[in-house]
Structures are given as structure tokens and as C-alpha cells.
């Protein structure tokens, strides 16, 4: 019995010593000094570091990711940070030691302050951010599975996190998410998403809960590309299913090949949906279950303007007692929404007002590429004229696409100056519309919205020639942009 007790104590001692927890006394660990402090737990292999047991950076201490190197983490392990996580490296890879056996993930405690920069994170079990002090810039998150985080590749619980200039590629779960009863005012800007929610669960690639009272969820200038085989995966949802206050600003996004484009669901929601280009978000196989370019459901009020919606099962759907200004209403919408080929069952549905409320929807192009009459517009709008219990949509005056969307504008041209520039320039637009800047390979390096007149644009891009494409009122024009 004595020998058995000694054996058990020896095992427990070995288990405890196999992990590393920093003392919480204000120590800053670089990668090399962490390896020196825990040489068998954070092993320096010369060309890379390997984490062989769980590591915890306690409140008061700092982990500084300061080398352009690779950090490999063994399967099932967790890096926990209760203090500061910061990045000064310009090219860092955090990956699994064996990509077939993911590491469990990264846990950021409520006391943590985390800054991820210039980092590729792959083959892990997600980042669980219990802190609102979170920033991610110029990172790639790919091939994550369910682990430490079960809600998303990066899951938030509170505060005002910021994610910008980053890529989320083929993660099993949504790219980012937060809880239905959490207050998270995320700023999600200029990111590229492709094929997330790879398991085809009924969750969108961006799956945010409410902003909370006084907060604002911003989803701005992102590109969200779906996998058409995943018919249950939408693009952008910022919803409040439990009635928590929710303010949204969803602008300038390019969204393609998802189950739906944008949805805001739940009571106590309001905000602005503007300048988004939503194309072929129609992978839903049953039209009654969804497939809208934009769906607004609840009792809130929304300003909707300057969106382009093409190829959805439904263009814009308003449900329950939602109120929306689509042009000329009390919220100041300018209209300029463009609709084309949104329909199902052999019928076009540009706007379905499935509420009892009247809708002001003036100055929109309801049938892009066609010379519309009032009768033609009426055909693509479902409202009181069709079902007596529904609110009346006021759609006149309306704009019509007199040329196809692919026709180059041949009239007056918008102007870039100076050109060449250092990436900061003035774009004088002849009309309000969406712009996208492409490099020579066809990759989008910037997207956004411009108003008629002079607009200051700031693009972070390397020296070279680019194409700036401007879409407005069914017309396109392209201009060569030179960055020196």
C-alpha cells in the first residue's frame, strides 16, 4: 500500500510539473524566455517552438509573441492567458504539431488583454475570448474545429472587440460569434471570409448576438464567400433572440453564394444596412425557409439604402412588425437599392412587406436592366395590394436599369486624384455607389461605398497598378489606380 501511495504521489507530481503557470508578478515572457523558464513545456527546437503541455499566463504577466517563427502545439492542449498577449512579430504561425490532431485552442480569461497581429492560426479548437479587450489585425484563421470554443473560430463574450484586415478560411464553425444573451459590440472590418461553417450547421459565417444597450455592432467592408454545397450556411447575422438591445451598422460588404445575405432578427433591434453587394445568396433549397438578400424580423426600425441585391430567392423581406425606410422615409434613406432576378417558384420578389406597417421605398431600381413601368414594379413587390392585411409600399418615384449591369458607363467619368498616390486619394464620384479595388490577379484589396462628390479613400496596398470598379444605378465604370 505504501508503494502504491508513493507511486500515485509521483504521478501527480509529474502531471503538475508537466504544465507551466506563470507567477503573476509582472513578468514579461518572450518566446525564448518562456522556453528558458519552461524548457520541457515550451521547447525550443531551433527553427520552431513546440508546446508539449498546457501553458497559463497569469493575470499580471505578459506573453510577447516577438519572433517570426512557428509555434507548434500538441494535440488537446490549451494556451490560457489571463494577463497580456501581444504580438510584435511580422510573420508568425501558430499550428498543431500534427494537423490531424488539433490543439484544443486558446482561452482568454476575462482579465486578459489580447492583441493578435500578423499571425496565421490553424488546426486548433478556436479562440474563446472571455475578455472584451481583444484586437486582431492582419491575421489568418483557418481549418479550426470545435474545441475550446464551440461557437465559432473566434467566440466573444463581452466588450468591444475589434477584428480587421484578416482572413477566415474553411473553419468548421462560423468565423466569429457571440452568445444570444451577451452584449458584444464587435467591430468587424475589411475581412475576407470563405467557406466557414464547413460542417453545414444552421449557422452563418458571421453569427453575432446583440450589441447591448449603447453598443453598436459594425460589420463593414468585408467579403463573405460561401460554399454552394453548404445549403444551411448564411452570410451575416446580427440578432437578438432574447430581447437584449441591438444596434447594427452593416455596410459595404460583398456577399456571394450563401444561404442568405444579411439578417437581423429579434425584438429591440435597429440600425443601418447600406452599400452592400449581395449576389446569388440562394443556396437554400426551400424558399419558405429563407434565402433573402436582406431579412429584417422583429419590431425594430432600419434605414436601408444603396444596396445591390441580385439572384436571391427573396430580395428584401420585412417580417413581424419591423419598420424600414427604403427611400424617402423618416430615417432619411436615399433609396438607390438595386434589385435583379430575386425570386422563386417562377415569380420575382424584390420586396416582400410581410408586416402591417407602411413602407416608404422611393427611388429604387426594382428591375435592373429593364425599362420598368409601374405595373412591372408592382409585379415584384408584395404588400397591401396583394394581401389586405399587409402594409402599403410606396415605391414611386422609382429608378429603372435602362442598361444592363455589365454595361460600362460611357457618360461623364468619376475622377481619382492624385493618381499615382500613396494609397490615400480623393475619388470624385458622379453618382453614389459601391467601389471595389482589384489587383492584377483579380483579388479584391478594398471595397466600400462612395457618395456623389468628393470622397477620401485610404487603401493599404503595395506599390503597383490596380483597377477601381464603381457600380451605381445599374452602370459600371472602371479606372486605373496607381499606388507608388
Q: How much is the pLDDT for 2?
A: 45
User: Cα(38)–Cα(55) distance, rounded to whole angstroms?
Assistant: 9
pLDDT > 90 fraction of the chain, expressed in percent and rounded: 78
Q: How much is the pLDDT for 405?
A: 39
Q: How much is the pLDDT for 441?
A: 64
Q: How much is the pLDDT for 401?
A: 45
User: Cα(449)–Cα(355) distance, rounded to whole angstroms?
Assistant: 30
User: Cα(100)–Cα(310) distance, rounded to whole angstroms?
Assistant: 40
Q: What is the pLDDT of residues 271-291, one digit of tens each?
A: 999 999 999 999 999 999 999
CATH 2.60.40.3080 assigned to domain 415-483? The reply is yes
Q: What is the pLDDT of residues 360-413, one digit of tens each?
A: 999 999 999 889 899 999 999 999 999 999 999 999 999 974 433 333 444 467
Average pLDDT over residues 302-321: 97
Extents of the domains making up the chain: 260-402, 415-483
Average pLDDT over residues 74-83: 98
Global pTM reads: 0.81
Average pLDDT over residues 302-323: 97
Q: What is the pLDDT of residues 24-40, one digit of tens each?
A: 999 999 999 999 999 99
Average pLDDT over residues 71-76: 98
pLDDT at 475 over 70: yes
Strand runs labelled E in 217-322: 217-220, 223-225, 236-238, 246-251, 254-256, 262-265, 269-274, 277-279, 292-298, 301-305, 308-310, 314-320
Q: How much is the pLDDT for 409?
A: 42
pLDDT at 9 over 80: no
What is the distance of C-alpha 398 from the center of its chain? 32
Amino acid at each position: 500500500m505504501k508503494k502504491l501511495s508513493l507511486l500515485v504521489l509521483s504521478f501527480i507530481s509529474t502531471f503538475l510539473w508537466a504544465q507551466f503557470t506563470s507567477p503573476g508578478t509582472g513578468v514579461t515572457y518572450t518566446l525564448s524566455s518562456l522556453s528558458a523558464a519552461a524548457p520541457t513545456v515550451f521547447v525550443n527546437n531551433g527553427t520552431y517552438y513546440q508546446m508539449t503541455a498546457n501553458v497559463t499566463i497569469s493575470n499580471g504577466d505578459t506573453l510577447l509573441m516577438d519572433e517570426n517563427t512557428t509555434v507548434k502545439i500538441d494535440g488537446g492542449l490549451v494556451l490560457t492567458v489571463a494577463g497580456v498577449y501581444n504580438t510584435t512579430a511580422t510573420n508568425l504561425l501558430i499550428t498543431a504539431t500534427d494537423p490531424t490532431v488539433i490543439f484544443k485552442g486558446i482561452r482568454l480569461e476575462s482579465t486578459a488583454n489580447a492583441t493578435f497581429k500578423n499571425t496565421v492560426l490553424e488546426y486548433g479548437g478556436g479562440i474563446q475570448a472571455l475578455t472584451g479587450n481583444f484586437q486582431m489585425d492582419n491575421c489568418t484563421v483557418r481549418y479550426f474545429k470545435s474545441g475550446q470554443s464551440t461557437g465559432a473560430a473566434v467566440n466573444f463574450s463581452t466588450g468591444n472587440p475589434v477584428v480587421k484586415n484578416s482572413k477566415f478560411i474553411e473553419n468548421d464553425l462560423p468565423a466569429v460569434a457571440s452568445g444570444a444573451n451577451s452584449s458584444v459590440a464587435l467591430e468587424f472590418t475589411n475581412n475576407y471570409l470563405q467557406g466557414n461553417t464547413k460542417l453545414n450547421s444552421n449557422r452563418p459565417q458571421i453569427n453575432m448576438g446583440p450589441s447591448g444597450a449603447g453598443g453598436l455592432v459594425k460589420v463593414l467592408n468585408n467579403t463573405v464567400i460561401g460554399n454552394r454545397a453548404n445549403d444551411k450556411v448564411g452570410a451575416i447575422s446580427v440578432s437578438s433572440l432574447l430581447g437584449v438591445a441591438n444596434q447594427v451598422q452593416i455596410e459595404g460588404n460583398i456577399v456571394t453564394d450563401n444561404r442568405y445575405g444579411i439578417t437581423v432578427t429579434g425584438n429591440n433591434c435597429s440600425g443601418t444596412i447600406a452599400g452592400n453587394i449581395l449576389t446569388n445568396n440562394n443556396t437554400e433549397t426551400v424558399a419558405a425557409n429563407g434565402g433573402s438578400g436582406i431579412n429584417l424580423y422583429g419590431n425594430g426600425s432600419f434605414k436601408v439604402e444603396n444596396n445591390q441585391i441580385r439572384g436571391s430567392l427573396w430580395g428584401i423581406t420585412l417580417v413581424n412588425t419591423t419598420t424600414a425606410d427604403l427611400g424617402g422615409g423618416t430615417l432619411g434613406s436615399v433609396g438607390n437599392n438595386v434589385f435583379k432576378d430575386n425570386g422563386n417558384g417562377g415569380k420575382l420578389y424584390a420586396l416582400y412587406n410581410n408586416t402591417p406597417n407602411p413602407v416608404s421605398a422611393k427611388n429604387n431600381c426594382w428591375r435592373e436592366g429593364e425599362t420598368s413601368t409601374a405595373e412591372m414594379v408592382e409585379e415584384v413587390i408584395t404588400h397591401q395590394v396583394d394581401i389586405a392585411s399587409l402594409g402599403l409600399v410606396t415605391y414611386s418615384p422609382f429608378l429603372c436599369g435602362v442598361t444592363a449591369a455589365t454595361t460600362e458607363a460611357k457618360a461623364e467619368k468619376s475622377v481619382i486624384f492624385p493618381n499615382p498616390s500613396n494609397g490615400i486619394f480623393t475619388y470624385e464620384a458622379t453618382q453614389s455607389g459601391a467601389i471595389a479595388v482589384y489587383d492584377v490577379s483579380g483579388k479584391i484589396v478594398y471595397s466600400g461605398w462612395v457618395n456623389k462628390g468628393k470622397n477620401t479613400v485610404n487603401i493599404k496596398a503595395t506599390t503597383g497598378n490596380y483597377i477601381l470598379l464603381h457600380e451605381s444605378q445599374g452602370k459600371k465604370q472602371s479606372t486605373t489606380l496607381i499606388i507608388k
